[in-house]
Structures are given as C-alpha cells and as structure tokens.
Amino acid sequence: MEMRWKGLKWFVLSVFVFTIVCLPASTVKAEYEEEEEEYSRYWEKDDDSGDSIKEKDGFVYYIYKNKVIVIDIILELLEDDKEVTIPESIDGYPVVEFSGYLPTEVENLYLPKTLKYWDIEGTYTPDDSDHLKNIIVDKDNPKFSSKNGILYNKKKTALVQCPSTRKSVTIPKSVRTIKNSAFTGVHLRKIVIPDTVKTIEEFAFSGCTKLKSVKLSKNLKVLEQRAFEECFNLKTIKIPDSVEKIGELVFFLCRNLQSVEIGENLKEIDEEVFWGCKKLKKITVKTEKLNGFPFPTTRDIGKKKNVLIIAKKDSYVYRTAKKKGFKVRAF
C-alpha cells in the first residue's frame, strides 16, 4: 500500500482527538478497537499546514493537496448504516483514500472510482458484533477491484481486505500478496493459502481469534511481523521450506499454539516470535542457515524442559537449545 500521506494523516488525527477531549462539544460514539472516543458532530481546526479535520454527512475527513482523505464514518449521522457508499467527492474535491478502522455495523460498503489508497486496520470484534459482508468497488476504479465481496488490487494479484464476517475464503490463484491487515479480526475458521502467494504482510491475520487451521503456500517467501498474532485457537502450523524470512512477533499471544515446524531454507527470523505462546510444546527447525533463534522464554513456557526442540545435530539451533537447557532431539 502506498503511504504518501500516512505520517501527516495520523498527526492531524491525533490533534483532532486531543482537541475533542479537551473542549466541550456535542458528541456521538465512534468505536475504536476496545474503547470509545467521544467525537464532536462537526469540528474544524487548521493545523500548521493549513489542513483541517471536518465532518460532512457522516464522513470525517480532511483535505490534503486538493484531495480528500476519509478517516472515519459516523454511522449515527447516516440515513442507512447498513448500506454505506463513500462518495466520489466532498466539498468539490475527489475522495482518494479511506483509512482508520472499518465500521462494524455496516453490511455492504461501496467504494468510489476515485479511491486510490486503502489504509484500514481491520476490525477487532471477537463477539461477532460486526456485520460487514461485502466490499464493492466501482467497476471504473483503476486501482481496486472486488470479487465475491472481497477487495483486491485491480489485477487481483494482491488481496487487500476481506469482510469481517467471512468464516471461510477461497483465495484466487492470481493472488501473489496478502496485504497488511487484510484479514485482521475476520472470523475465519480455516484458511488455505494458494501456492501462488509469496508474501504475507504484517498483521495479515492478526486477531483471527477463531482460526484453527492454516495451510501456507509452498512458494511463500516472507512472513512479515505479527502476521498471525492473537490467533488464540491456532494449535499447529507448518512453515514451508520456501520461507526465507519470518518477522518479529509473528505468533504473538497465540496462547494455544503447541507445535511449529520451520522449513529448511529459512535464513532470517526476528525477535520474540513466540512471545505469549504459553502452551508451546514442540518446535521443529529444519534449516541450518540460522545464526540466531528466538527461543521461547520461561516467562511463557515455565521450565525450558517443557519444550522439545528438534533440529539437525550440527546446527546452531540444536547446539544452542541444548546449551540453554531445552529438551532436544536430532534429525
């Protein structure tokens, strides 16, 4: 995803929230993750760059270089909070970006042909209180497309966003990349990732609390940071031989994860991959290409003898695991 205005956008949004908290205003509720913030129905204040946060017809936005970035939707101000269409323009300027969090009450979200950037964090509603079923893009949009209610880039080589209510998904074989936060908070039970996929970006499956089964692409190269964090029901995962890099905190707080197998071509693995994996019992490491490894800590697993490390006898992982006091077994 292109991040042209990301830094400025979050600066302006932080100013917006701070000012609302400090000044009295008529308010409506806007949901953000697990807490509520009070937003004014209409508030405008210029920052140093001359940009301003505004609200019109339920859409919270600001204008940057004659283009509109929508940063929130206040559903209470819409005539229909189930069928929501982001407009092509506001105040005479084209709407080019939608960012923030997906509104949980919406069932069908329609995107205009002017939209160029998508910077959504997904949803976190494990109690199934969200309702999003479909994301539908104007057929004339040059950047995005949709199929079966799922958002893709125009050529369908990247899966951008899956609606949160989906329990199963068939990913087209055209997809090469699963974008950041594409499945965040989605109620998946299982996922089979086709062998065409080479990259799973950060936070891709974060917060999929019901996910029990994952089959990764045989041609996957990169598993970026926090890709499967807080997948509370995931018990086992096999990382294929094709994977060369695993980012930090990939399995953060996967509290029921018991068994992990890592393929033979892994060259780089970042820190704290198994932080919060309190039920981890076995890690199989086939690669001999590592000079470091994020062994689970006693903070999570209690005694090191509770975890079996299986690796090649002359490998760094085997030697270090044995030295640290883990149970070890050689191939």
Residue 115 has a CB neighbour count (10 Å cut-off) of 21
Q: Check residue 191 and give its pLDDT.
A: 96
pLDDT at 2: 41
Give the whole-angstrom CA distance, residue 140 versus residue 123. 27
Q: Are 111 and 98 in contact (CB under 8 A)?
A: yes
**pLDDT attached to residue 254:** 98
Res 124: pLDDT: 58
The contacts found for 11-20 with CB under 8 angstroms, 24 or more apart, are 11/47, 12/47, 12/51, 12/53, 12/62, 13/53, 13/71, 13/100, 15/45, 15/47, 15/53, 16/43, 16/45, 16/53, 19/43, 19/45
- 309 by DSSP, 3-state: which? strand
pLDDT digits (tens, 9 = 90+) for 75-102: 899 888 899 999 999 999 999 999 988 8
Burial code (b: 16+ CB inside 10 Å, e: under 16) for 163-188 equals: bbbbeebebeeebbbbbbbbbbbbbb
Residues 6+ apart with CB under 8 A from 18: none
Using DSSP, state whether 192 is helix, strand or coil.
strand
Residue 11's H or E segment, with its range, is helix 6-22
* Residue 41 pLDDT: 26
Radius of gyration, CA atoms only, the chain: 22
Alpha-carbon gap, residue 260 to 238, rounded angstroms: 6
Look up residue 238 and give its amino acid.
K
Contact predicate 279/259, CB 8 Å:
no
> For residues 146 and 109, what is the distance between their CA atoms, to the nearest angstrom?
11
Q: Are 239 and 216 in contact (CB under 8 A)?
A: yes
Q: β-pairing, 177-178 with 158-161? A: parallel
**The token pair that represents 176 in the structure block:** 């090469």
pLDDT value at residue 129: 64
pLDDT tens for the 331 residues of the chain, in order: 444 444 444 444 454 444 433 434 333 333 323 323 323 322 333 343 346 899 999 999 999 999 999 999 998 998 888 999 999 999 999 999 999 888 778 999 999 999 999 998 776 555 556 789 999 999 999 999 999 999 999 999 999 999 999 999 999 999 999 999 999 999 999 999 999 999 999 999 999 999 999 999 999 999 999 999 999 999 999 999 999 999 999 999 999 999 999 999 999 999 999 999 999 999 999 999 999 999 999 999 999 999 999 999 999 999 999 999 999 999 8
Residue 193's CB: how many other CB atoms inside 10 A?
A: 22
18 three-state secondary structure = helix
